[in-house]
Amino acid sequence: MSVEKGANAVARADVMRVAIGACLVVGVALAIAWPAGKPPHYSPRSMAKVGRISERFQSYNIEMAEVTGGRFWKPYASRNTSDPVRAATKAGLPGGVDPSRYEYRPPVDLGDARLRKLAAALGPAYVRVSGTWANSTYFSDSDAVAGAPPPGYIGVLTRPQWRGVVAFTRAVDGALVTSFAVSSGARDAAGAWRPDRAQRLVNYTRALGGHIAAAEFMNEPDLVDLANAPKGYNAEDYGRDFTLFRRWMRTVSPETVVAGPGSIAETGITPWLMWLTGTHMISSADMLAASQAKVDVFSYHHYGAMSERCIKSGIGSTDLASVLSAGWLGSVDGATSSYQALRDEYAPAAPLWLTETGEAACGGNPWASTFADTFRYLDQLGRLARRGVQVVMHNTLAASDYGLLDETDHRPRPNYWAALLWHEFMGTTVLDAGAAPSGSVHLYAHCLHGVPGGVALLAINLDRNASRPLDIDAAAEGFTLAAPALDSREVRLNGHVLLLGPDDVLPRFRGRPVAAGAAVLPAASITFLTIPRADNAACR
């Protein structure tokens, strides 16, 4: 969730949570070892193809609030987390939010050399510029410094700012994804959506030589109270507006992929939270039916919990003790299954994209920027690839605690190094690595990126106390990520701390030889194993 979710009823959620005395933590710690005897045997050569993902599978978000400048989730380093504020007040923010949870940011410098260099290393990728802030951002179509937004909007996007987005996307081998304003300022007297401001944004993008690769009508329309849609907005209104949006998009930019609905609130803990806080929601099924589900891509969002900015403990929260648990790592499965079923019913030909996800909503927990979240990050990519999800967009590239990069100096966090290793080794062909993730070791297999016939394995050891053997019948090169502690911001590859070199040169990843049948996964570690001579027929 972006600026977006911490909103409206944090105070009521706190009160209700205390009243009911809830102490539910997401997931139950798992401590299952291999069964007695030998671990399972794996043969990379004979692993069958089970699917294929987009070359832009691993992608990321830049919040519209970053582009325009605005208030976004305040990093824990600059706030007192021991003094939760109970009152929610309107502060020029979507939905009305507790201002202590936010911090103003000037417009991000998308021309920053380090930011571009590190983002380019993850290319090709989709660069999604959206978030609930985008639902009420006015495109001024002017080079002038942004002034106060017109009535019906809460933010202003200028030409220089959007020019920076288009230039950044081009520089990092990105494909631009966005959404449009839907607040009262973007509507006619009858309350119907008007495409005139969106038309100006599309025209200006084209004038810059840019291209909107994919577009969602609005961000998270099911959370209608938080989305800055008009009061009383319902599924029929959405169906009317989406039909107009699609017809307009097909006329002005027929090459743009139309994605939707981009919902989040119907799975996991979110419905409970919405009920507790009295937040109005629209059913995705009703929206899909009303709009006749004419999407090219079926998009959805997922967060396994709310961060402690919005919920300190109880229903909807998690803690550091749960980061390796089955419930926590598997939370994305339930959301994906639910939206997959809706896709199958309403738009069976549409690819599935997860267009926003991260460690936890409301900017992530304090450990989102540590090695602890790298297990979720990579395990989620592995799970979703084998389930057939084509694209996963992480929130964010470099804002708040769940950013891949630090927002002040753009230095890599552990998840960035994990993203870079995935990009380096895991190709677009997904292989059958056996049963679904369970027990202490989770294993995922893809064709080795750029090496015909080669295989890459991602092996995650969730046991905090003991190493685990991995029986593969081929020699490999091993790349093991580990850290001094789970909540460490330092991550090591085969014992060497990963750091940028002079002039921000990325380190060369050096593997270690692993003999056939001799792979050992250290406790609480993540290992990529590359087998370039696997001679897998699906990978030739």
Residue 315 falls in which region: left (phi positive, over 0), alpha (psi -120 to 50) or beta:
beta
- CA 82, CA 130: separation in Å to the nearest integer? 31
Q: Which residues pair with 43 in a beta bridge?
A: none
* C-beta of residue 137 within 8 angstroms of C-beta of residue 186: no
Cα 249 to Cα 47, 127, 418: the distances in Å are: 42, 19, 36
- The one-digit pLDDT tens for each residue of the chain (540 residues) are 444 344 333 333 332 332 323 232 232 222 233 444 567 899 999 999 999 999 999 999 999 999 999 989 998 875 433 322 222 323 333 433 455 788 899 999 999 999 999 999 999 999 999 999 999 999 999 898 888 999 999 999 999 999 999 999 999 999 999 999 999 999 999 999 999 999 999 999 999 999 999 999 999 999 988 888 998 999 999 999 999 999 999 999 999 999 999 999 776 666 666 666 667 789 999 999 999 989 999 999 999 999 999 888 877 889 999 999 999 999 999 999 999 999 999 999 999 999 999 999 999 999 999 999 999 999 999 999 999 999 999 999 999 999 999 999 999 999 999 999 999 999 999 999 998 788 999 999 999 999 999 999 999 999 999 999 999 999 999 999 999 999 999 999 999 999 999 999 999 999 999 999 999 999 999 999 999 999 999 999
Say what the pLDDT of residue 12 is: 35
* C-beta of residue 290 within 8 angstroms of C-beta of residue 239: yes
* C-beta of residue 454 within 8 angstroms of C-beta of residue 539: yes
Say what the pLDDT of residue 98 is: 58
| DSSP category for residue 461 | E
Report the predicted TM-score, pTM, of the whole model to 2 decimal places: 0.90
508: its two tokens: 């060369």
* C-beta of residue 135 within 8 angstroms of C-beta of residue 107: no
- CA 127, CA 397: separation in Å to the nearest integer? 9
Cα 492 to Cα 46, 363, 415, 507, 518: the distances in Å are: 32, 25, 12, 12, 21
- Measured over the CA atoms of residue 412, residue 418, residue 419 and residue 423, the dihedral's sign is positive
- CA 457, CA 455: separation in Å to the nearest integer? 7
Chain mean position to CA 409: 21
* C-beta of residue 456 within 8 angstroms of C-beta of residue 529: yes
User: What are the b/e assignments for 226-259, b being 16+ CB within 10 Å?
Assistant: bbbbbeebbbebbbbbbebbbebbeeebeebbbb
Of 236, 132, 232, 141, which Cα lies nearest the Cα of 182? 132
* C-beta of residue 442 within 8 angstroms of C-beta of residue 459: yes
In 30-124, at which residue ranges do the beta strands (DSSP E only) sit? Answer: 41-42, 49-52, 58-63, 70-73, 102-105
Report all structural domains of the chain as residue ranges with CATH numbers, in order of start.
10-25+52-431 (3.20.20.80)
Of 17, 23, 54, 75, which Cα lies nearest the Cα of 401? 75
